[in-house]
Chains A and B, each alone.
Chain A
Amino acid sequence: MVMAQKILIIEDEDIMRNLLSKKLKGAGYQVSTAKDGQEGMDLLEKEKFDLVLSDIIMPKLGGLEVMERMNQDPGLKNIPIIVVSNSGQPVELDQARRFGAKDWLVKTEFDPQEVIVKIKKILGE
């Protein structure tokens, strides 16, 4: 039996976190959730993930900081990250790319189904 791939969702907004989690589970992934960057880092250090979906603006630790820390950790720096943000500002986008984000989704512009499409593309399914 093939193990389901594990995805970590870091998102401070309850409703978005729950919707994303439901959508991803529905698509057959194993999902863990964190409600801020700090919780996300704790989980990343304990478990092994195949992909991270992260918001940018969050309490305690923001998405860009999470990416920065992951970059500095040899065990984490190769995990692909998709940013799911409310903003599509070119400045933030550039920054996220520099920190190694594989893709960027603006919440108001993308449907949940497209998240699955992007994940599949990145995980090479």
Chain B
Amino acid sequence: MALEKDDNKNVGQGAGAPQETESDLRQARSALLNILDDTEMARRLAVEERNKTLAIVQNFSDAILVFDENNSLELINPLAEEFLNAKQEDLLGKNMDELLDTPKTKALMEALGIAGKDFIEKVFRKEFMARPDFYLEITTAPLIMDSQPKGTLIVLHDITREKNIEKMKTEFVSISAHQLRTPLSAIKWTLRMILDGDVGPIASEQKEILEKSYSSNERMINLVNDLLNVSRIEEGKFLYKPEPIQLEEVINSTVNALQEEAKRRGLSLVFNNGGKEPLPMVKLDKEKMKLAVDNLINNALKYNTTKNGKVEISAEKLDDKQLRVTVKDNGLGIPAAQQARIFTKFFRGENVVRLEVDGSGLGLYTTRNIIEAHGGKIWFESKQGEGTSFYFTVPFA
């Protein structure tokens, strides 16, 4: 409209001008009208695109919330309303602090960790229990247009089904592992009693074969125990009963129990703590910590085929808050490319698998869980062909 007005004005001003000017003006007018048409078309396209985008957002299979650059809620799709059990008109325009005070969005805002902050941190696949038996996974992403921050996108993905399947899987493992232990213990006791001569004398060849089946059965028992421990960790049933204790005691008894195994493998196993004054007490679940230390030393022994192979353990005060334990071997080492994965469930090093050394791939997963549950940290240094050192810390009691 504005253009046309200008146009008329121009025509008016040009009244009485030569004919070429009039035709020029006519041309200019139609050019302007063309531009107007194009603009209108572009506008219509933009509206169409906007509606399309909105339709996608509104019908998206994940819940979406968008905060503007001032951290006020700008958009919330119907699924987000459903997940939060709230109406958009009650939420739109509110800023983060206001949403933190709104009962229906309080838990989500807390999960986003915005309290005391004026921005939304980047979150990737963070688990969030919105209601009992209703689990969401939160992912946030900054909205950046022309390298300017324009707000934050929050995506909530329903993972209730995955969580339920995971729970069923854990329960399945737990139940089957329990069921497996019954026949395994019957086999263990039968073989042991035959070997001990409780049911009559046996020939040396028979004894040799039975010893082998006995140790196969022991391997099976260990595997089932590893599975049970993992499923207990995942079910949250891996209970800790900490008591004040000398860590050296735990290490000493584990090292002593493994001396025979080390000798069998031709390795030296030493705990370098002789003559030193006792370390400060730490608060530990003795049985669990034994399991963690046993896993580390066992790995160091198992994956060591070096001549003059050795495993050295030491424990010392790291600072005035914690102890550090080192389990150092000169064995196979962990391939550099696989080091990032070693604490994952079922992980086994490719160089180790080639050796066909038995193992469940659950030991380090369990060990890390135990150390972290005690408030400690675990890490390692390793070079393939040279050996591995595992370190872990335990805070003082």
Q: Interface residues, chain A, CB within 8 Å of chain B?
A: 13, 15-16, 19, 22-23, 26, 86-87, 89-91, 107-108, 111-113
Knowing that A13-B186, A23-B193 touch, tell me 19 more A-B residue pairs with CB under 8 angstroms. Answer: A13-B182, A15-B186, A16-B186, A22-B199, A23-B198, A86-B182, A87-B181, A90-B239, A107-B181, A107-B188, A107-B189, A108-B184, A108-B188, A108-B224, A108-B225, A111-B189, A112-B198, A113-B192, A113-B196
Q: Interface residues, chain B, CB within 8 Å of chain A?
A: 178, 181-182, 184-186, 188-190, 192-193, 196, 198-199, 221, 224-225, 237, 239, 241
Which residue of chain A has its CB nearest to the CB of B199?
A: A22
Assess the B198–A16 pair: CB atoms within 8 A.
no
Q: Which residues of the other chain, B, contact A16 by a CB distance below 8 angstroms?
A: 185-186, 189
User: In the docked arrangement, what's the CA distance between A108 and B228, Å?
Assistant: 13
Assess the A112–B221 pair: CB atoms within 8 A.
no
User: In the docked arrangement, what's the CA distance between A112 and B188, Å?
Assistant: 9
Assess the B186–A112 pair: CB atoms within 8 A.
no
User: In the docked arrangement, what's the CA distance between A22 and B198, Å?
Assistant: 8
User: In the docked arrangement, what's the CA distance between A113 and B197, Å?
Assistant: 11
Which residue of chain B has its CB nearest to the CB of A14?
A: B186
Q: Which residues of the other chain, B, contact A90 by a CB distance below 8 angstroms?
A: 239, 241
Q: Which residues of the other chain, B, contact A87 by a CB distance below 8 angstroms?
A: 178, 181
Assess the B189–A112 pair: CB atoms within 8 A.
yes
Taking the closest CB of chain A, its distance from the CB of B67, in whole angstroms, is 46
Number of A-B pairs, beta carbon distance below 8 Å: 49
Assess the A108–B181 pair: CB atoms within 8 A.
yes
Q: Which residues of the other chain, A, contact B185 by a CB distance below 8 angstroms?
A: 16, 86, 107-108
User: In the docked arrangement, what's the CA distance between A72 and B193, Å?
Assistant: 36
Assess the B178–A86 pair: CB atoms within 8 A.
yes
User: In the docked arrangement, what's the CA distance between A111 and B192, Å?
Assistant: 7
Given contacts A86-B181, A86-B182, contact A19 B189 (CB under 8 A): yes
Taking the closest CB of chain A, its distance from the CB of B253, in whole angstroms, is 15
Assess the A112–B181 pair: CB atoms within 8 A.
no
Taking the closest CB of chain A, its distance from the CB of B226, in whole angstroms, is 12
Taking the closest CB of chain B, its distance from the CB of A21, in whole angstroms, is 11
User: In the docked arrangement, what's the CA distance between A99 and B241, Å?
Assistant: 20
Taking the closest CB of chain A, its distance from the CB of B360, in whole angstroms, is 15
Cross-chain contact of A108 among B193, B196, B221 (Cβ < 8 A): B221
Assess the B239–A91 pair: CB atoms within 8 A.
yes
User: In the docked arrangement, what's the CA distance between A13 and B178, Å?
Assistant: 15
Taking the closest CB of chain B, its distance from the CB of A88, in whole angstroms, is 9
Which residue of chain A has its CB nearest to the CB of B217?
A: A108
Q: Which residues of the other chain, B, contact A113 by a CB distance below 8 angstroms?
A: 192, 196
User: In the docked arrangement, what's the CA distance between A86 and B221, Å?
Assistant: 11
User: In the docked arrangement, what's the CA distance between A111 and B214, Å?
Assistant: 11
Which residue of chain A has its CB nearest to the CB of B189?
A: A19
Q: Which residues of the other chain, B, contact A91 by a CB distance below 8 angstroms?
A: 239
User: In the docked arrangement, what's the CA distance between A107 and B241, Å?
Assistant: 22
Given contacts A22-B198, A22-B199, A26-B198, contact A112 B182 (CB under 8 A): no
User: In the docked arrangement, what's the CA distance between A26 and B189, Å?
Assistant: 15
User: In the docked arrangement, what's the CA distance between A119 and B149, Å?
Assistant: 74
Taking the closest CB of chain B, its distance from the CB of A12, in whole angstroms, is 10
